[in-house]
Chain A
């Protein structure tokens, strides 16, 4: 027999860059997670991520009582039983992972959100930046493309920087020119990348202040995998962040938890 208790619920988080799926059992234990690049066909990627998830857990479609969708592509998940906003999901997921959480910083591929949460995972207030690429994962991706560096190498290179350059422009397009200017002046790529990380950390902290951040802070979303960003934000804030391998999946986890609530309420037998 498998080591989980039925019924299962699933959360599928279709983000702008990556699609995350997570399977939860009846006791709230995470059974499996999967990750795919979102690409252009949202319905297809959701289907594939879900198939990967069932395969990873070795279970059948019938074992899953309910699937909740979240993220910007949530309404295009054809097999989704319910849809929840990513703000609610990240809040819920973060509190499930770290019960002391009172503020969530979700840095995704295309937007950044600061969320103040209650002890039960409910949202008290939030601020978001979704109109401008500055301060989102997209800013890092632009820097990586420009410097022809793989996304997963960014953090290590930036961490090796000694003296960060100043990135003074806000707009990603202008920052690209600024990066090239620093290269022309002979600055090392690691110092430039450290500057890019600092600029982003500062923007996210401005967002946190607007929402009235409280300790303790959990860092979620794709950028939470970036070690340099974690250390920069925690250095500027002067407090440690709660972050781990699962914080990237906080949205999918929150969605699965909302699905589990429904099952528990007897909506689905």
Chain B
């Protein structure tokens, strides 16, 4: 019998949800800004997933949450860390990978794991927004540019404006100064992206990469980030399909849901 589970990733910026079947098919996806009421957003996300699958709540073996607000929604059968979720999601999509780099809204996480998906080492930037998606978002906001424009801007940029401040808040003043002095928005965006790539590459180097390296997270929606990381890291990279990069941890959570659902089903039948 085919079984289903939902994975919901409550990230700092966006909440992503997936319904996965035991045959490996993705039946539904949803994405919404997290905002400040994770309980409500998780509920809305689950309703949207079930409607688009379409399935009923009792068809799901489990609802597994992950992400920074994973413990808040009461609808969860189980909450798992983003690292575990990312590892399981990445392995499902790209079986060859042994290291995952996740560039998200507020955090950048690099994680190395073994053949059995056991985490060997990880590095996080959890104290500082420098180089995270929040940093790119602020840069775009200062220049009144939608984030969707990033790739188009980078394509026309001839050189990256140097952004020397580490702090995302100070970088903002630096960017304003550069704009006042006639700096071009595309070059400034290029500079911000470069700072982000630099920061992510630093975490990966500290970790020691086990090939192959898989890149995931909302920031990887920008093709130019993947291109710049490839140049910077000088190692083979795996990328999920462009429309899947931000759903990998949600997918991993759903994958675990199918497995743990099976375990409890076995327990039930044994009892």
Contacts and interface: CB of A to CB of B under 8 A. Distances in A.
Interface of A: 16, 40, 110, 131-133, 138, 142, 169-174, 177, 180-181, 183-184
Given A180-B36, A181-B36, 11 more contacts: A16-B173, A110-B170, A110-B173, A131-B166, A170-B128, A171-B168, A172-B168, A172-B169, A174-B129, A183-B36, A184-B37
Contacts of A183: 36
Nearest to A169: B127
Given A40-B180, A177-B106, A171 B129 contact: yes
A184 B167 contact: no
Given A132-B128, A183-B36, A173 B138 contact: yes
B4 interface: no
A173 B168 contact: yes
Nearest to A181: B36
Contacts of B168: 133, 171-173
Given A170-B127, A171-B128, A142 B36 contact: no
Nearest to A184: B36
Contact of B167 (A132, A169, A177, A181): A132
B233 to A, nearest CB: 25
A184 B167 CA distance: 27
Between B12, B132, B134, B169, the greatest number of chain A beta carbons within 10 A of the residue's beta carbon is seen for B169
Contacts of A142: 169
Contacts of A177: 12, 106
Nearest to A39: B180
B178 to A, nearest CB: 11
Interface in B12-47: 12, 35-37
A208 to B, nearest CB: 21
6 contacts: A16-B173, A173-B129, A174-B134, A181-B36, A184-B35, A184-B37
Interface residues of B, number: 22
B247 interface: no
Interface string B108-139: 00000000000000000001110010110010
Contact of A133 (B35, B127, B134, B169): B169
B45 to A, nearest CB: 17
Contacts of B135: 173
Nearest to B177: A40
A171 B127 CA distance: 6
Nearest to A138: B169
A180 B134 CA distance: 15
Contacts of A171: 127-129, 167-168
B176 interface: yes
Between B37, B166, B170, B177, the greatest number of chain A beta carbons within 10 A of the residue's beta carbon is seen for B170
Contacts of B138: 173
A181 B248 CA distance: 26
A133 B166 CA distance: 10
Interface in B156-182: 165-170, 173, 176-177, 180
Contacts of B169: 133, 138, 142, 172-173
A174 B133 CA distance: 12
B12 to A, nearest CB: 6
Contacts of B177: 40
A83 B128 CA distance: 33
B13 to A, nearest CB: 9
Q: Which 10 A-B pairs have the closest CB atoms?
A: A184-B36, A173-B129, A133-B169, A172-B169, A171-B129, A40-B180, A132-B167, A170-B127, A171-B128, A173-B168
A152 to B, nearest CB: 21
Between A133, A170, A173, A180, the greatest number of chain B beta carbons within 10 A of the residue's beta carbon is seen for A173
A131 B167 contact: yes
A180 B166 CA distance: 24
Between B127, B129, B165, B173, the greatest number of chain A beta carbons within 10 A of the residue's beta carbon is seen for B129
A138 to B, nearest CB: 6
Interface string B218-243: 00000000000000000000000000
A184 B72 CA distance: 14
A229 to B, nearest CB: 18
